Structure 1
């Protein structure tokens, strides 16, 4: 995102904000999944909803509902644009595995972000 001759587009998001956004998204996924399955009995429906939310919200729009509330955006690491639905789907699948999300590099990019070529950044103050 940053090169020696260029400043980063915005500051990478901290773990606390990212985790807060994920908790909001997870609560929404549990709510949606409970419309067609009991998450206490069948565990996979909320996970599928989380993967699809990542694909269809982050891919073209750059943020899930939780990220919007936490004032975060997921953008392409290379150019700051949208990552697309396919990379959003890959990112969501790896996020659902959890371990890739907690292994971060110096830019606070989890393995799921690195695989999708994305970075989660703070939105500037309005």
Structure 2
């Protein structure tokens, strides 16, 4: 049965005829079951974003110091901004973030275009930064941020 959100969210998990296809993750996009090119699992994706977040924290601390503007709240926003820029720019240009590179992942468009592009990368990163859209996932393991931007995270090794 198709979920109510499938009717308006791009990159819907509904297969032909409105129901899920029922195969392995990423099958509806022509991805293999395992190995390079397969849809990435939640653990690797979580590890990649953790690496990116820690890298953003390190960069923010180096440039802003451990106590920017005198409050912890400002450091949090500085870290988020550095993470956002690091993630959006590297995803738009290369299709990967430093954390994804370390864990053998990359972002791919489901229409097989080579580049993710700036608008998709900005929207994807903004939704990822809100956390909840990334936790609500479909049968292919894609969060709302991937569905809204018609992307999928795949393994490179």
User: TM-score if structure 1 supplies the norm length?
Assistant: 0.87
Aligned to 1:121: 154
Kindly indicate whether the alpha-carbon contact (under 8 Å) linking 2:52 and 2:87 is maintained by their aligned counterparts in 1: no
Cα deviation per residue 1:30-59 (whole Å; 9 max; x = unaligned)? Answer: 011112254771211111122212211011
Aligned to 1:36: 64
**RMSD over equivalenced CA pairs, Å:** 1.9
CA deviation after TM superposition for structure 1 residue 2, in Å: 4.9
Kindly indicate whether the alpha-carbon contact (under 8 Å) linking 2:40 and 2:155 is maintained by their aligned counterparts in 1: yes
CA deviation after TM superposition for structure 1 residue 107, in Å: 1.3
Aligned to 2:31: 8
The count of residues paired between Structure 1 and Structure 2 equals 122
CA deviation after TM superposition for structure 1 residue 77, in Å: 1.4
For the structure 1 residues 80 and 100, does the alpha-carbon distance in structure 2 shift closer, same or farther, using more than 3 Å as the test? same
Q: What are the ranges of 5 or more consecutive residues in structure 2 without an aligned counterpart?
A: 1-25
Cα deviation per residue 1:71-118 (whole Å; 9 max; x = unaligned)? Answer: 000010121522112211111111110000011111111101111111
CA deviation after TM superposition for structure 1 residue 18, in Å: 0.4
Aligned to 2:121: 88
Q: Measure, in 2, the Cα distance between the counterparts of 1:14 and 1:2.
A: 14
Q: What are the ranges of 5 or more consecutive residues in structure 1 without an aligned counterpart?
A: none
